[in-house]
Amino acid sequence: MRGEDAPAPFERPLYNPPTHPLSFLEMSVATAPVSPPPPPPVIPPAKPLDYNPLHLDYHAPMPRPKVRGLAIDGHTHLLAARHAETYFAASRHYGFEAIITQTPLEEALTLARRWGERMHFVTIPQWTNPSIDDWLRRLEAFYNLGSRMIKFHMAPGTMAARKLRLDAPELRPVIREAVARNMILMSHVGDPDGWYAGKYANAAKYGTREEHYRMWENVMDEYRDRPWLGAHMGGNPENLPRLQDLLDRFPNLSLDCSATKWVVRELSVRRDAAREFFIRNADRIIFGTDQVTSDDRGFDFLASRFWAHRKVWETAYIGPVPIVDPDMPADNQPIMRGLALPDDVLQKLYHDNAVKLLGRVGATIGPN
């Protein structure tokens, strides 16, 4: 459905935000798409030597982060309700009690029944069939569940496969509807530098990083009054000056520090500049892991990501990373260099910034 065929966006949301997502459970079911659940994404099998080559005891006692309030994992992919017990066992062991999650709509209702107050759902399409009509229906259903954030996955490979860009006219009805409903706009733009030099080297097919960032900036400029979240350090942790320029020019932009292997690798390489960047922009960065759950990703797999994040943000640890990085040669794996961020920066990173961002659109997370 193209922009000119789309219904006019609402001037205000159809529904008042629920105090608890279950108060809108029946309405969400009524408005949810009736298509069968999508097949699970293809995820490489979890191999212990990939997530614990150092043979760490991930069950060893771990002090909570020095945070007032709940520590929040602001970027997760809890893909199925059956994964929640294991996910929360690992996250709580490492001190994280609440999540902002990109969960399929078909699984969100079940999760909301038990874990709703500790979750904020991000509106996402059905990735295997991302039609605009279906996306709009899912937007309304997620909104009825309390979602006030929508994700646009615009990595180079995604845009090439789906033939849909962030600035495409076909996508405008979805963006307009999200804006009309006062939602946070979230995007994944950009990927590791090594991918641009390798699997995205065909610029005629995938475009260039510069093209992708012009696209993102043009759309952000059009919606300057909207809060915007740039996933994975804005998709370019290799270039902190670029990120600083974006933050300086777009005051409503925040970043999350998710994508464990990528972010740990690149920020460790430029440790001192990264520490300065996090302190300078302490009010603009949200913690996230980018955990993607699956049936064979048990406690230790999930714990490895939390272990790495807490080490890199909270300590001055210098040493090997307990996760094999497939983007690096086996004999030249990354060395972590912890940023040892001050306590006041960690408070904002782990809690305050996520709460404030959601609060801008009238949303909360955690027990009231």
pLDDT single digits (tens) 331-357: 999 999 999 999 999 999 999 999 999
Give the residues across from 292 on adjacent strands.
77
Q: Is the pLDDT of residue 312 over 70?
A: yes
| Distance separating alpha carbons of residues 31 and 47, to the nearest angstrom | 40
> Could you give the angle at the alpha carbon of 50 between the alpha carbons of 45 and 52, nearest 5°?
125
pLDDT level of residue 48 (50, 70, 90 thresholds): confident
Q: Would the CA dihedral through 237, 242, 248, 254 be positive or negative?
A: negative
Domain ranges of the chain: 3-31+70-359
- The encoded tokens of residue 85 equal 């017990």
Q: Is the pLDDT of residue 16 over 60?
A: no
Q: Do the Cβ atoms of 146 and 21 come closer than 8 Å?
A: yes
Q: Residues near 243 by Cβ (< 8 Å), separated by ≥ 6? A: 233, 234, 236, 237, 255, 277
Average pLDDT value for residue range 13-29: 40
| Distance separating alpha carbons of residues 230 and 288, to the nearest angstrom | 12
Q: Do the Cβ atoms of 184 and 148 come closer than 8 Å?
A: yes
pLDDT level of residue 70 (50, 70, 90 thresholds): very high
Q: Do the Cβ atoms of 2 and 168 come closer than 8 Å?
A: no
| Distance separating alpha carbons of residues 169 and 212, to the nearest angstrom | 16
| Distance separating alpha carbons of residues 73 and 302, to the nearest angstrom | 12
CATH 3.20.20.140 fits 3-31+70-359, yes or no: yes
**Mean pLDDT, the chain, integer:** 90
Share of the chain above pLDDT 70, in %: 88
Is this model's pTM higher than 0.75 or not? Answer: yes
